[in-house]
Amino acid sequence: MAATLVSTAPPPPRAIWFGILAAPAAWAIQGLAAWLVESHFCGNSTPASTTVVPAGVRATEVMICIVAGVIAVAALLLAVRRWRDSRDAGVASIHSRSRPDFMAAAAMFVSVSFLVAIVLTGYATAMLNVCQSMR
């Protein structure tokens, strides 16, 4: 009786988790940080509201958006690099026959989705009134 060997794919590298989780975490931290900045500087009961400079609050929020965007782009670049290293490097049709290939495809999808969310949130921050963009 011949023994059957089951070939399992190696586990995905730990770096791919950065590609999957970094963009959503950056988006969540962007929203929380912008909300904290606006609640601190735009609240009516805080002493800081008397000395608030709208340009300073907007600049702080834009910097938060830029940092979140850089993190999301880094996650996307890592995901694309892992996808190119996979056995299924075609972009037109994603088959992802093994676990590392699937993780790379998922990381690309998640990173792009949350990069769009970060850009749209940043657009709202840049266009809306300083104390109304995170209500």
C-alpha torsion 124→79→29→52, nearest 10? -50
Residue 126 — pLDDT band, cuts 50, 70, 90? confident
**Strand spans (E) along 31-129:** none
Q: Give the pLDDT score at 58.
A: 83
Q: Which residues contact 10 (CB under 8 A, 6 or more apart)?
A: 100
Does the pLDDT value for residue 107 go beyond 70? yes
* Helix 99-127 vs helix 54-85: crossing angle, to nearest 10: 160
Q: Which residues contact 32 (CB under 8 A, 6 or more apart)?
A: none
Q: Give the pLDDT score at 70.
A: 97
**Strand spans (E) along 39-129:** none
Q: Give the pLDDT score at 90.
A: 59
Lowest mean pLDDT among 52-61, 64-73, 102-111, 121-130: 52-61
Q: List the domain boundaries for the chain.
A: 15-127
Residue 22 — pLDDT band, cuts 50, 70, 90? very high
pTM above 0.85, yes or no: no
Tell me the per-residue pLDDT of 24-68, one tens digit each, with 9 for 90 and over: 999 999 999 988 888 877 765 544 445 556 777 888 888 999 999
